[in-house]
């Protein structure tokens, strides 16, 4: 039987480093293909749909959309740029035949570009290079193209992949051109390049159905929705299908509703076939990586291997004196159900039971991966506590190995010394140093993942906010020995009550406070960062004794330094092994694992 070529469809993924303008480019493509009405008000970065994505300006979940250019339907998958969401990227690349590699005209290829491009080249996908932000004053497009070419060679691209077309773009202005000196008024050159260079899907449209599920969505009305590309055959509404599990099992199901993508909307259709990216509802227990196949002739498709988690944390039920005050879901059952539900859609996550019925071990691809999960749960009304992140060691050929990250740092020349010195003590090994571009030097290191825990905030302080750091998983190497932990102690509340100005005023002499007057505190809660290396108990609830004597100047107001407010990520990076972060919908508090000061001292003596 002849292979059928589906000329009216192109399937592409957009891959790029975080903040290189991926989602903005998709906005422009949607607007220029007539997806929105002329007078329709459209949000910026319309593809970043959840609140956390909008606030942080990053893409966390891959998104599907589709546009029509002439008679051709272009299915576009917008992928995350952060290495922590690499599991998302690896899966969605299975749905497409080509990739738009988007690179900033000043920054050039970054660690994340390398990571996603490597995955795409391994899958033999056809790349189109888009140099974005050509309107930047400091743009250096010609040098950036040389850097991209070197990266392709380094990643082992074949001759066909090395012959990539280049399009110059300003996603913000909605223009594209083939040569820098061309006039440009729209994105037509980009659309034409996609049609001419991305292979059309091909295969057998009249053979038994095969569709790999690469994404799971859910909807309150229809339940779980499986999204994937039809690799072979046809799929119809109300069709009886077989679901091939990853373990080789086969079970039956029925397609209740079938959708294709049009713009940002899903449209119900009766039938779809080879090359279409579709969403199907009605298969209640379907999972990522399973194949929807013909009920008479079920044949599974191979699934991409997802990289293993490198960092784990313990999530446990909140047992602080303030437990249950602010959260809606506070019990072990709530926590357990929510974590196991996350596994359905979050492929790089692992959740396991521990010796304690109230605690669960949660492993992910990095701190950001886990902190996004914590933030999402918090906003949903969950209340719980988490431990310090720990790296996951592996034994390879009898040698204890730990995860290593590839770290890229861009800093002004004046800060190079302090960065190299600090990273040296964290067991980092410098592998490259590139001379200054616009006064910035690029440093590249291999560093143990645990050496990065707690470093970001220190780095921002050391470089006075002028440095940029990015890191990506490199691989496992033999363990590198001890890395010094936090060098400052904490100020711990001595009793439960409400913090008052007088108590805080006395405490701030010992270090910097992280709470202000009027904050409810409990015994064992962390209220500040000590200026010395040991922990100090302070009484922030202590009021001034009232006497009938009036001393000169006693009425002068006590001056408090404004508290240093810490974000969730800063708290997770800051805490030591004997501390926890208590997370509720309204508050983030740090606390000692053992609240009672006497018991804490006994435990510390025992551990010494």
Q: Would you kindly state where each structural domain of the chain is located, as residue ranges?
A: 4-201, 204-294, 394-478, 490-548+556-573+590-607
Residue 342: per-residue pLDDT? 83
Q: How confident is the model at residue 234 (pLDDT cuts 50, 70, 90)?
A: confident
CATH class of 394-478: alpha beta
Whether residue 24 is annotated as binding a ligand: the answer is: yes
Closest CA to 210 of 254, 247, 255, 241: 241
Q: How confident is the model at residue 232 (pLDDT cuts 50, 70, 90)?
A: confident
Residue 407: per-residue pLDDT? 86
Q: How confident is the model at residue 492 (pLDDT cuts 50, 70, 90)?
A: very high
Whether residue 126 is annotated as binding a ligand: the answer is: no
Separation CA 453–CA 403 (nearest Å): 12
Which superfamily is assigned to 4-201 in CATH?
P-loop containing nucleotide triphosphate hydrolases (3.40.50.300)
Q: Please write the tens of the pLDDT for every residue from 415-431.
A: 888 889 888 888 899 98
Q: Please write the tens of the pLDDT for every residue from 176-213.
A: 888 878 787 888 888 889 889 888 888 888 888 888 88
Phi, psi at 161, each rounded to 5°: -70, -30
Whether residue 82 is annotated as binding a ligand: the answer is: no
CATH architecture of 490-548+556-573+590-607: Beta Barrel (2.40)
List CB contacts of 280: < 8 A, sequence separation 6 or more. 225, 226, 235, 255, 257, 258, 259, 292
Query: What b-and-e string marks burial along 559-577, b requiring 16 or more CB atoms within 10 Å of the CB?
Result: eeeebeebebbbbbbbbee
Q: What ranges in 98-183 are assigned the alpha helix state H?
A: 111-122, 141-154, 159-162
Between the two ends of the chain, the Cα-to-Cα distance in Å is 74
List CB contacts of 161: < 8 A, sequence separation 6 or more. 121, 124, 126, 127, 152
Whether residue 20 is annotated as binding a ligand: the answer is: yes
Q: Are 423 and 445 in contact (CB under 8 A)?
A: yes
Across the chain, how many H-helices and E-strands are there? 15, 37
List CB contacts of 547: < 8 A, sequence separation 6 or more. none
Q: Are 190 and 167 in contact (CB under 8 A)?
A: yes
Residue 300: per-residue pLDDT? 82
Q: How confident is the model at residue 592 (pLDDT cuts 50, 70, 90)?
A: very high
Q: Please write the tens of the pLDDT for every residue from 84-123.
A: 444 556 677 878 888 888 888 888 777 667 777 887 888 8
Whether residue 133 is annotated as binding a ligand: the answer is: yes
Q: Is 151 left (phi over 0), alpha (psi -120 to 50) or beta?
A: alpha
* Region 435-462 average pLDDT: 80
Residue 409: per-residue pLDDT? 85
Q: Are 338 and 382 in contact (CB under 8 A)?
A: yes
Q: Are 155 and 121 in contact (CB under 8 A)?
A: yes
Closest CA to 227 of 39, 362, 54, 66: 66
Beta strands 384-386 and 359-364: pairing type? unpaired
Closest CA to 294 of 393, 211, 375, 184: 211
Say what angle helices 455-462 and 416-425 make with each other, to 10 degrees.
160
- The upper half-sphere exposure of residue 334, i.e. CA atoms within 13 Å in the direction of its Cβ, equals 16
Q: Are 386 and 583 in contact (CB under 8 A)?
A: yes
- pTM score, whole prediction: 0.68
Q: Is 275 left (phi over 0), alpha (psi -120 to 50) or beta?
A: left
pLDDT at 363 over 60: yes
Sheet holding 175-177, edge to edge: 63-69, 72-78, 9-16, 98-104, 126-132, 166-170, 175-177
List CB contacts of 232: < 8 A, sequence separation 6 or more. 203, 204, 205, 207, 208, 209, 210, 274
Sign of CA dihedral 187, 188, 191, 192: negative
Whether residue 408 is annotated as binding a ligand: the answer is: no
Separation CA 391–CA 313 (nearest Å): 9
Separation CA 454–CA 578 (nearest Å): 15
pLDDT at 521 over 80: yes
Residue 219: per-residue pLDDT? 65
Separation CA 202–CA 300 (nearest Å): 18
The H or E element spanning position 90 is helix 86-92
Separation CA 312–CA 294 (nearest Å): 39
Q: How confident is the model at residue 26 (pLDDT cuts 50, 70, 90)?
A: confident
Q: Are 100 and 12 in contact (CB under 8 A)?
A: yes
What CATH number does domain 204-294 carry, 3.40.640.10, 2.40.30.10, 3.30.559.30, 1.20.5.510? 2.40.30.10
The most distant pair of C-alpha atoms in the chain lies apart, rounded to whole Å, by 103
Residue 89: per-residue pLDDT? 66
Separation CA 403–CA 409 (nearest Å): 19
Whether residue 182 is annotated as binding a ligand: the answer is: no
Q: Are 434 and 107 in contact (CB under 8 A)?
A: no
Separation CA 400–CA 479 (nearest Å): 6
Separation CA 568–CA 591 (nearest Å): 13
pLDDT at 238 over 50: yes
Closest CA to 103 of 44, 189, 195, 21: 21
Most confident of 69-83, 451-465, 582-596: 582-596
Q: Is 30 left (phi over 0), alpha (psi -120 to 50) or beta?
A: alpha
Q: How confident is the model at residue 305 (pLDDT cuts 50, 70, 90)?
A: low
DSSP code at position 36: S
* Region 377-397 average pLDDT: 91
Q: Could you tell me where the beta strands, DSSP code E, fall in 481-598?
A: 490-493, 497-498, 511-513, 520-521, 526-530, 536-538, 579-583, 588-592
Whether residue 87 is annotated as binding a ligand: the answer is: no
Instruction: Please tell me the least confidently modeled range out of 380-394, 419-433, 473-487.
Output: 473-487
Q: Are 354 and 314 in contact (CB under 8 A)?
A: yes
List CB contacts of 549: < 8 A, sequence separation 6 or more. none
Closest CA to 384 of 452, 311, 295, 322: 322
* Region 476-480 average pLDDT: 90
DSSP labels for 320-364?
STTTTSS-SB-SHHHHHHHHHHHHHH-TT-EEEE-SSTTEEEEEE
| pLDDT mean across residues, the chain | 81
Whether residue 265 is annotated as binding a ligand: the answer is: no
Whether residue 134 is annotated as binding a ligand: the answer is: yes
Q: What ranges in 163-287 are assigned the alpha helix state H?
A: 188-197
Separation CA 526–CA 140 (nearest Å): 48
């Amino acid at each position: 039987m002849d292979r059928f070529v589906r000329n009216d469809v192109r399937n592409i993924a957009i891959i790029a480093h975080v903040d290189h303008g991926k989602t903005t480019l998709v906005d422009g493509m949607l607007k220029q293909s007539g997806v929105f009405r002329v007078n329709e008000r459209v949000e910026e970065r319309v593809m970043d749909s959840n609140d956390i994505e909008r606030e942080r300006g990053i893409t966390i979940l891959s998104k599907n959309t589709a546009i029509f250019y002439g008679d051709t339907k272009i299915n576009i998958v917008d992928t995350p740029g952060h290495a922590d969401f690499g599991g998302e990227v690896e899966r969605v690349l299975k749905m497409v035949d080509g990739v738009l590699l988007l690179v900033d005209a000043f920054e050039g290829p970054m660690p994340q570009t390398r990571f996603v491009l490597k995955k795409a080249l391994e899958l033999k996908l056809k790349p189109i290079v888009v140099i974005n932000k050509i309107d930047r004053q400091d743009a250096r497009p010609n040098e950036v193209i040389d850097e991209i070419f070197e990266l392709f060679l380094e990643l082992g691209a074949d001759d066909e992949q090395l012959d990539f077309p280049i399009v110059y773009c300003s996603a913000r202005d909605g223009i594209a051109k083939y040569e820098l000196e061309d006039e440009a008024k729209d994105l037509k050159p980009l659309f034409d390049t996609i049609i001419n260079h991305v292979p059309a899907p091909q295969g057998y449209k009249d053979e038994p159905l095969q569709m790999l599920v690469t994404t799971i969505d859910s909807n309150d009305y229809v339940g779980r929705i499986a999204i994937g590309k039809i690799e072979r055959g046809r799929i119809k509404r109300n069709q009886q299908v077989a679901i091939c599990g990853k373990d080789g099992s086969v079970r039956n199901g029925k397609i209740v509703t079938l959708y294709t993508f049009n713009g940002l909307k899903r449209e119900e259709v009766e039938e779809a076939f080879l090359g279409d990216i579709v969403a199907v509802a009605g298969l209640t227990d379907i999972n990522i990586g399973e194949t929807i196949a013909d009920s008479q002739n079920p044949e599974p498709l191979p699934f991409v291997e997802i990289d293993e988690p490198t960092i784990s944390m313990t999530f446990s039920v909140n047992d602080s004196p303030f437990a249950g005050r602010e959260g809606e879901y506070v019990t072990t059952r709530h926590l357990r159900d929510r974590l196991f539900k996350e596994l359905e859609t979050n492929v790089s996550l692992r959740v396991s039971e521990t010796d304690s019925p109230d605690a669960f071990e949660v492993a992910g691809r990095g701190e950001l991966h886990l902190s996004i999960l914590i933030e999402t749960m918090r906003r949903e009304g969950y209340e719980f506590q988490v431990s310090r992140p720990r790296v996951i060691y592996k034994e390879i050929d009898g040698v204890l190995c730990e995860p290593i990250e590839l770290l890229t740092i861009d800093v002004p020349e004046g800060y190079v010394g302090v960065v190299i010195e600090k990273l040296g003590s964290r067991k980092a090994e410098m592998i490259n140093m590139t001379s200054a571009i616009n006064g910035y030097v690029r440093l590249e290191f291999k560093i143990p993942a645990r050496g990065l825990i707690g470093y970001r905030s220190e780095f921002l302080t050391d470089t006075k906010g002028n440095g940029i750091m990015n890191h990506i998983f490199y691989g496992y190497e033999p363990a590198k020995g001890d890395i010094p932990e936090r060098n400052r102690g904490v100020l711990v509340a001595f009793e439960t009550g409400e913090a008052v100005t007088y108590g805080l005023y006395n405490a701030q002499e010992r270090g910097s406070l992280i709470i202000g007057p009027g904050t409810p505190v409990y015994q064992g809660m962390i209220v500040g960062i000590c200026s010395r290396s040991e922990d100090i108990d302070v009484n922030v609830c202590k009021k001034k004794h009232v006497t009938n004597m009036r001393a000169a100047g006693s009425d002068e107001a006590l001056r408090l330094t404004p508290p240093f407010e810490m974000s969730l990520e800063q708290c997770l990076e800051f805490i030591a092994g004997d501390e926890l972060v208590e997370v509720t919908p309204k508050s983030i508090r740090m606390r000692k694992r053992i609240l009672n000061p006497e018991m804490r001292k006994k435990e510390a003596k025992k551990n010494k």
